[in-house]
Amino acid sequence: MTMDLSSRVNPFQLEKATSDALDSLFEKYQNHPEGVCVSFRDLCGSWPWAKRSDVYTHLIHAYPAKMLAYIPIFFQSTERFAKANEPILDVFAGSSTVLLESIAHPVFPRDAYGIEINPLARLVGKVKTTPIIIEDAKEAYLEVVNCAGKTAQTKIPEYNNIDYWFSPRIKKSLGQIAWAIDAVSMADDLRDFLLVCFSAIVKKCSLADPDIPVPVLLKLKKQNPNKCSNSVDKRNKIVQPLLKALDTIDPLEIFSDSVYSNLVRMRLFNEVMKGRATKATIICEDARCIQSIPMSSRAKFELGKKKTLPDNSVAMVITSPPYGSAQKYIRATRLEMLWTGLLTSAEITNLEKISIGTESLLSKDCCTLVMTGYPNIDDIIRQINDNNHYRASITSLYFNEMIKVFKEIKRVLKPGGELVLVIGDNESCDIEIQNHVFLASIANDLGLRQELLLRDPVKSRGMMTKRHKSAGMIADDWIILFKKDREICSS
């Protein structure tokens, strides 16, 4: 099977189709400054090459709240914003959807940089955007399986409630696989690939509910005699076979399935990347201080080699930041990070505290609300504070941190460069937080001029859109296009 998409796509037709669609959106925006409703899925769905399902390596590993791939596809299907040889940056890269679409674009391939604080996301992003030699990967996998099947050695992470999530049999088997991946001699890229395949099975072998990204114990619901039992019965019919299957599953067999499925994806990705020079690189972990740091195996940065990413060096930023009361990315990937040895339990706790959008605040951080200086944002913070001081502190910290992020985005963008911001609104204490309005006011104030406002209704609920009982549901993705004016120089 071939994936030489570039031979099937006419560059002139694609440029015209994208340009015509943009012109139409800009025209509608002039009459509807409150936002133009659009479906990026439908917008790109007429392009046969752009239809996305299990394409390239996108599904190599599950990750919560992935950006809709059609958004970066659309904005990169033209040279109106960035030339084909100009780099793209995603300052909240997640599992690298933007990076993968950038380097694999059939007509306008571009180098891509990513910034990501979650080491599992960095590892997944690195693996899904790095071609490997398939036969070498197969050989390494077979050695790992052989070693894991014979060894009495295990590598089991140390944390207090491991037995809450894993039976002794499964814990031992996972430990043997983890030990074998470390013990077998292989290239770093191959080890990282096998680590991602291993990480992808951790929750499948656990007692965590597969329908909830943040680990929640899978268990039968008790009947309430005072309420209708239909929903409970329906749920228990799903849960019961899952619990039963855990008694007999073989982690080594599930690992093998994960490897072979991902080798198929990697083979297709290799074909796409054949002869291409474009590369995706995770360059640092903190969008509040954008640096360029080499990343070695297991998503570890070589901190002794860090340097600041130059001013005016990026043509376009496409990113989707977390929200206040953020999607619990760190907690959602806790089990995987522990089993792959990326972080210890204590390091994960610390990472939660320093992540943008954190809900893990110390009492000392909540003593005094730090206002942003933006009246519309500060008014909402005060309203939330009237109900709940802790949640007001979370909101205040979030917007103050995002001010730092926007300053860095403006610094690294070239004059005339564009920012595509994908964000959803949410609630706190039943008070609506219009993130798309508030973040736009910050960006505009800092010298990033809003050019377009689009609204794409969220159709998939597989995005963990309900993050907290006080945070509400995400109904729409707001897509905002900003331009760094050419006459504005980096400060």
Q: Indicate if 58 and 181 belong to the same structural domain.
A: no
**Which residue range(s) make up the domain with 148?**
134-207+246-269
What's the rounded Cα separation, in Å, for the pair 323 and 257?
Answer: 35
The arithmetic mean of pLDDT across residues 443-469, rounded, is 76
Report the range of poorest mean pLDDT among 118-132, 159-173, 312-326: 312-326
Burial class (CB in 10 A: 0-12, 13-18, 19+), 168: exposed
- In a domain? residue 216: no
The predicted structure's pLDDT at residue 166 = 97
Q: Tell me the per-residue pLDDT of 195-228, one tens digit each, with 9 for 90 and over.
A: 999 999 999 999 999 888 889 999 888 776 666 6
Same-domain status, 35 and 80: yes
Mean pLDDT of 49-58: 85
**Same domain for 469 and 408?**
yes
Report whether 276 contacts 103 (CB < 8 A): yes
User: What is the model's pLDDT at position 120?
Assistant: 98
**What percentage of the chain carries pLDDT values higher than 70?**
92
pLDDT tens column, 60-101: 999 998 999 999 999 999 999 999 889 999 999 999 999 999
Percent of the chain with pLDDT over 90: 77
Domain identity same for 465 and 346: yes
- 116-147 pLDDT, tens per residue? 999 999 999 999 999 999 999 999 999 999 99
Q: 480, 436 in Cβ contact below 8 A?
A: yes
Banded pLDDT at 467 (limits 50, 70, 90): very low
Is 215 within a domain? no
Residue 403 belongs to domain with CATH number: 3.40.50.150
Same domain, 180 and 305: no
Would residue 225 count as lying in a domain?
no
On whether both 466 and 331 belong to a single domain, the answer is yes
336 and 352, same domain (yes or no): yes
> What are the backbone dihedrals phi and psi of residue 477, each rounded to the nearest 5 degrees, phi first?
-90, 125
| Same-domain status, 318 and 170 | no
Is 213 a member of any domain?
A: no
Same structural domain for residues 367 and 465? yes
Please, which residues have CB within 8 angstroms of residue 475's CB and are 6 or more apart in sequence? 424, 425, 457, 458
In this prediction, residue 45 carries a pLDDT of: 82
Question: Do 449 and 414 share a structural domain?
Answer: yes
- In 3-state terms the chain splits into helix, strand, coil percentages (rounded to 5) of 45, 15, 40
Side chain identity at 347, as an amino acid letter? Answer: E
Q: Classify residue 295: in a domain, yes or no.
A: yes
| Judgement on whether residues 112 and 144 belong to the same structural domain of the protein | no
- Amino acid identity, residue 183? A
What pLDDT does 388 receive?
Answer: 94
How many domains does the chain fold into? Answer: 2
Residue 488: per-residue pLDDT? 44
Does residue 219 lie within any of the structural domains? no
Q: Is the pLDDT of residue 466 over 50?
A: no
The overall average pLDDT reported for the chain is: 91
- Tell whether 417 is covered by a domain: yes
Q: In terms of domains, do 337 and 407 share one?
A: yes
Residues in the chain: 491
Band of pLDDT at residue 463, cut at 50, 70 and 90: very low
The verdict on residue 312 lying in a domain is yes
